[in-house]
Amino acid sequence: MSTLNSSGPQTADAPTPDDAFHEATGLDARESQPPHGSGDGDGPVLAADGRPLKQSLKRALRAQKLRALMLIAPLLIFVLVTFIAPIADMLFRSVENQIVSDTLPRTTQALAGWDEDSGAMPPDNILAAFTYDMVAAAERKEHTRLGTRLNYEMTGISSLFRKTGRRVDDFGETYLDQFEALDPAWEEAKTWVRLMGDPDWLAANADWAAEADAAGRDFDKPAPPFELKPGIAAALPETADAYAEFARITQVEDEDNPAEEEPWAPVYLALFRDLAKQPAPDFAALAAPDRALLAPAAQAVPDFETVALADLYIKADEDWADPEVWKTIKAFSPDYTSGYFLASVDLQKTVDGVSAQPEDRQIYMLLFKRTLFMSMVIMGSCVLLGYPIAYLLSNLPMRTSNLLLILVLLPFWTSLLVRTSAWKVLLQQQGVINDILVWAHIVADDARLVMINNQFGTIVAMTHILLPFMILPLYSVMKTIPPSYVRAAKSLGATNWTAFWRVYFPQSVPGIGAGCILVFILAIGYYITPELVGGTTGTFISNRIAYHISSSLNWGLAAALGTILLAVVLILYWLYDRLVGIDNVSLG
Amino acid sequence: MKLKSILLSTGIALVGAPMALAQEMADSMTLVSWGGAYQQSQINAYSDPYKEMHEGLTVVWDESSNEAVAKLRAMNEAGNVTWDLVDVTAADAMRLCDEGLAMEIDHDEMLAPAPDGTPASDDFGETIVSDCFIPQIVYSITFGYRQDMVGDTPPESVCAIFDTETYPGKRSLEKRPINNVEWALLCDGVPKDEIYDVLETEEGQDRALAKLDTIKDDVIWWSAGADTPQLLADGEVVMGSTYNGRLFSLIAEQGQPVNMLWDGQVYDLDGWIIPEGLPEDRLARAMDFVKFATDTQRLADQAKYISYGPARASSAPLVSTHATLGIEMAPHMPTDPANAQNTFLQNFEWWADYRDDLDAKFQAWLAK
């Protein structure tokens, strides 16, 4: 190997296995060409153990790479688990929308076939599906969560769902009463469970109940999950579905026994709908007792007093009559939605497609533009103020420059809130600067300058706060610029300015690049300072993100806004790389 | 039948738990509140006496009520709720309840009745705005003004905020639509009981914003409760809205030349919620504490330290003097009849619906 190294590419560094590897690849390449000159090139070069050199080198390298990977593994895993994964998870929320189809599975399916341009409420079959979904969601206390979610899209849905959730378990009571009048057996939990439940499950459940009674309070063995009787779903599809949902919720949410609970009213609604279907349902596959129970009911159903579901909903809240509500549910039925992203660029998603937000609600594009513009201004003023300071720092004698450096770092170590509040004291209308100006008769007492709670205040405060992030990389780069270059330029006849501009400045560009990237990226995501001193014209997009995270709980929109912000930063970074070159950035 | 079984099971959980599990209460609990003087008043009135009664109990206070809703949601998603009792505003309690993050409560079963036996739900009355909410205090968002900046005609009506002729200078308002749009309509001639009907319409919202537009350049918008007192103390604003307790401490404790404007004040409520999904021993402890901390005497005691009105009707007669200043507290309560001549209670349900929509419009209007 040592012979190979000596003939390998000459670098100033000590030889590495990589060099050897390149060398070996080079050898291979030479082999594949017809030999000329040195004629001993038949067959691959072999290592001492007789394997091809390339292979054994690869093996040696793999082991080393593995070792390197294992060394960084703790950090890599740490970063992945605590940083990348949570961010990815959070950003993923910007498209996630399963809550609608999870909470209203039947409705979203039924609505897919609904003609949203009908201008009316959906027909009874969709409303029935919605009723089964709603009563289950209300029992699980999930309907209000969905209401909150949909309220982001249409104002008023929140209370619509909250109010309706309280009443929906009465929907179908008309049918409940009539079935009971027909045959009191319908009132019995046992009738239902025998009609619907799988015989094996019934037996297992009875055993479980007996065991529970015997054990008393501390019994915590889970009940056997409810199973439908084979064939019942074919004969009474809606009823079987509604009852199975009822049984599951009774078991899981209430920890009760379905064999002892009368089903909620919408199950009777389902039974009525099944029995009233044309052509009449076929009970041939059912056992005799079930047929005996259902046959008279099926006969009586055509004479039942009916109630339109639409009326029940309108009675619960007249907003249900508004087709817009149903359109919103339909538009947000899919598991993934572009709605949040559209909202974050002042568009809105409707069932007919994409349209602009009403003008009086457009804000995000304005804030994005403002955030970018102000971050640029802050970055620019940091360069202007930071460059001379960094120059001084790196050219003064050690003792003085250390003192200066401490002055730069001192505010850096001070709490952000303290510094921001200090600017308030300085800049406000009854503040220090205005007082001095009034005292010096530069401004009149009744015409004090407004320097805070606007863009100016934000720019001043943030420039001050971010200045160290500009000075430090500049300083570390300038420190490495040998003073002899400028002296040489001068000795060759350059003026002070030319020597600075043509010789010194180009060498300090990597520091400017690093400082600009740091300041800009920090500025773009700032929110405490703009919140405190920004007033109305100096707030950033991050203030809205914070609002949606902590106040409105619209995490989807916050995630979409955050994703866009991240994308903008990455694009700008890429642009910067193309224009300036990221190699020209030095953090010291 | 369904309802009965729910009532029964909660009944067993609620009544049964404190009795049967008396020995199984957790020996530490984490309470979440707002920090500052308000939290101190809770420590003095509730947790210190409770700790004396229960040897060996550790009480940890967390000052996170400000972002309680978001944090509770995050904790719930992570499946690790570390809080036992959280102090939130009524609007936040409603949201937490809607999100399924707060436990529903049977107020009569869980809370102590009034000394005369009135059940808790009647004693708290309409302050129970959500099934999850355990009311604690009534506070109000009201105005304070600088005595020395209003000339000889101190403002008597909330509409003085829109009167920049008589009261030139800046005013501070909260940077959100709630309360501001109500005041705007009130001062634009809308009768108090029609405000929310008007606000429900597009024109009504535009009307409110148009009214606010007349003073837009004269407003400093605040987002922290401490802003207005500071601005008043500095003389930056001539008048400003904030929580009445903040103004009380500015006036009574710090002696600033500021007066309260008891007009058009908007009542708001603050209280406890119990996070959903607590383990049994911690739940038992939280319920035991909250029953103690919301009884008639404890709520009256809190008013010794801060000028917020107790949420129970039966506590009002027991309100006494300030613990250190020795002044009579009743006249400083937002609920005092002399202060409550022209007030209104925020419509929480309405705001739960319209908050997002109006906030978007309000912020867009602000940014213009």
From chain A, pick out residues whose CB is under 8 angstroms from the CB of B12: none
pLDDT tens-digit series, residues A119-147? 889 999 999 999 999 999 999 989 999 99
Q: What is the pLDDT of residues A48-58, one digit of tens each?
A: 777 888 888 88
Residue A587 has a pLDDT of: 62
Q: Does B210 touch chain A (CB under 8 A)?
A: no
Query: Domain boundary at A92, A115, A135, which?
Result: A92
Task: Give the closest-approach CA distance of B66 to chain A in angstroms.
Answer: 8
Residue-level pLDDT at A82? 93
Write down the pLDDT at residue B79: 92
Cβ neighbours around A29 below 10 Å, total: 9
d(CA B139, CA B350): 19
Does residue A195 form part of some domain? yes
- For residues A398 and A537, state if they share a domain: yes
Nearest chain A residue to B89 by CA: give it.
A551
**Which chain A residues have a beta carbon less than 8 Å from that of B349?**
159, 162
Encode pLDDT of A18-69 as tens digits. Answer: 555 555 455 544 444 444 444 455 667 787 777 888 888 888 899 899 999 9
Residues 6 or more apart whose Cβ sits within 8 Å of residue A376: A520
User: What CATH number is attached to the domain comprising A397?
Assistant: 1.10.3720.10
- C-alpha distances (whole Å) from A163 to each of A120, A316, B129, B312 are 21, 7, 14, 27
Decide if A443 is inside a domain: yes
Are A117 and A210 in a shared domain? no
Radius of gyration of chain B (CA): 21
Residue A16's pLDDT band (boundaries 50, 70, 90)? low
Residue A352 included in any domain: no
**Contact (CB<8Å) B352/A363:** no
Q: Where are the alpha helices (DSSP H) in A183-287?
A: 189-196, 199-215, 232-235, 237-252, 265-275
Show Cβ contacts of residue A332 under 8 Å, excluding neighbours closer than 6 positions.
A97, A100, A149, A150, A153, A339, A349
- Residue A113 and residue A219 in one domain: no
Alpha carbon A263 to its chain's center:
39
Which numeric CATH code is attached to B140-267+338-367?
3.40.190.10
Mean of the per-residue pLDDT values for chain B? Answer: 90
- Condensed to tens digits (0 to 9), the pLDDT of residues B48-83 reads 999 999 999 999 999 999 889 999 999 998 899 999
Confidence grade of residue B337 (pLDDT, cut at 50, 70, 90): confident
- Nearest-CA distance B221 → chain A (Å): 6
**Shared domain check, A150 and A228:** no
Q: Judge whether A179 lies within some domain.
A: yes
Nearest C-alpha neighbor of A316 from the set A165, A182, A440, A197: A165
Any domain includes A338: no
Same domain, A448 and A471: yes
Q: How far is CA B315 from the centre of its chain?
A: 17
DSSP 3-state of B358: helix
Task: Pick the more confident residue, B152 or A3.
Answer: B152
Inter-chain contact B98–A147, Cβ cutoff 8 Å? yes
**Closest chain A C-alpha to B10 CA, distance in angstroms:** 10
Model confidence at B5: pLDDT above 50: no
List every span in chain B annotated with CATH 3.40.190.10.
Answer: 2-132+274-332, 140-267+338-367
A189 pLDDT above the threshold of 60: yes
Kindly report the pTM of this predicted structure.
Answer: 0.86
Measured in degrees and rounded to the nearest 5, phi and psi for residue B28 equal: -150, 150
- Cβ-Cβ pairs closer than 8 A, A with B, add up to 101
Residue with tokens 């309470």: B31
Is the predicted pLDDT of residue A195 greater than 50, yes or no? yes
Cβ-nearest to A361 among B235, B349, B360: B360
What residue in A sits closest to B353 (Cα-Cα)?
A: A156
* Chain A residues inside the 8 Å CB shell of B181: none
pLDDT in tens, A303-315: 999 999 999 999 9
Under DSSP, is residue A470 helix (H, G, I), strand (E, B) or coil? helix
**pLDDT at A13 (0 to 100):** 46
Shortest Cα–Cα distance, A383 to chain B (Å): 28
- For chain B, the straight-line distance linking the first and the last C-alpha, in angstroms and rounded, comes to 56
Residue B135 pLDDT level (bands cut at 50, 70, 90): very high
Q: Which residues of B touch A141 (CB under 8 A)?
A: 100, 104
Name the B residues in 53-72 with CB < 8 Å from any A CB: 66-67, 69-70
Tens digit of each residue's pLDDT (9 = 90 or more) over A352-407: 889 999 988 899 999 999 999 999 999 999 999 999 999 999 999 989 999 999 99
8 Å CB contact of B349 and A159? yes
pLDDT of residue A286: 86
What pLDDT, in 10s, does the model give residues A77-126? 999 999 999 999 999 999 999 999 999 999 999 999 898 888 889 999 99
Which residue out of B2, B9, B149 would a mutagenesis test of the A interface target, given it has the greatest number of A Cβ atoms within 10 Å? B2
Q: Are residues A438 and A450 in the same domain?
A: yes
Question: 């000590």: which residue's tokens?
Answer: A14
Nearest CA in chain A to B103: A141
Contact status of B361 with chain A (Cβ, < 8 Å): yes
Q: Taking CB atoms and an 8 Å limit, are A366 and B235 in contact across chains?
A: no
CA distance B99 to chain A (A): 5
Show the domain range for A29: 2-92
Concatenate the DSSP letters of all residues of B220-239 into one string: EEE-STTHHHHHHHHTSEEE
pLDDT tops 90 at residue B157: yes
Query: What per-residue confidence (pLDDT) applies to B101?
Result: 93
Same domain, A29 and A47: yes
8 Å CB contact of B9 and A158? no
Q: Report if residue A489 sits inside a domain.
A: yes
CA distance B337 to chain A (A): 33
Residue B170's pLDDT is 93
Q: How far is CA A511 from the centre of its chain?
A: 34
B349 has a chain A CB within 8 A of its CB: yes
Contacts of B6 in chain A (CB under 8 A): 254
Distance (Å) from the C-alpha of residue A544 to the closest C-alpha of chain B?
9
- Please state the rounded mean pLDDT for residues B186-195: 94
A347: in domain: no
pLDDT greater at residue B2 or residue A107: A107
Say which CATH topology domain B2-132+274-332 has.
D-Maltodextrin-Binding Protein; domain 2 (3.40.190)
Chosen from B103, B207, B353, B362 to mutate, greatest number of chain A CBs within 10 A? B353
In a domain, A97, yes or no: no
Round to whole Å and give the CA distance between A455 and A539.
8
Same domain, A31 and A111: no
Block residue for tokens 């995050």 = B74
Give the separation between CA A585 and CA A7, rounded to whole angstroms: 34
Residue contact B367–A539, C-beta within 8 A: yes
Q: Mutate which of B64, B363, B365 to disrupt the A interface (most A C-beta within 10 Å)?
A: B363
User: Does B197 contact A at CB distance below 8 Å?
Assistant: no
In the 3-class helix/strand/coil scheme, how is A372-429 assigned residue by residue?
Answer: HHHHHHHHHHHHHHHHHHHHHHHHCCHHHHHHHHHHHHHHHHCCHHHHHHHHHHHHCC
Residue A342 Cα to chain centre, angstroms: 14
For residues A470 and A466, what is the distance between their CA atoms, to the nearest angstrom? 7
**Co-location of A63 and A111 in the same domain:** no
pLDDT at A7 over 80: no
Mean pLDDT score, A248-277: 91
What pLDDT score does A337 carry? 94
B295: DSSP letter: S
Same domain, A114 and A49: no
Please provide the average confidence, as pLDDT, over all residues in chain A.
88
Read off the DSSP letter of residue B171: E
Q: Per residue in A500-525, pLDDT tens?
A: 999 999 999 989 988 999 999 999 99
Using CA coordinates, name the residue in chain B closest to A165: B98
Total domain count for chain A? 4
A152 CB neighbours in chain B (<8 A) are: 356
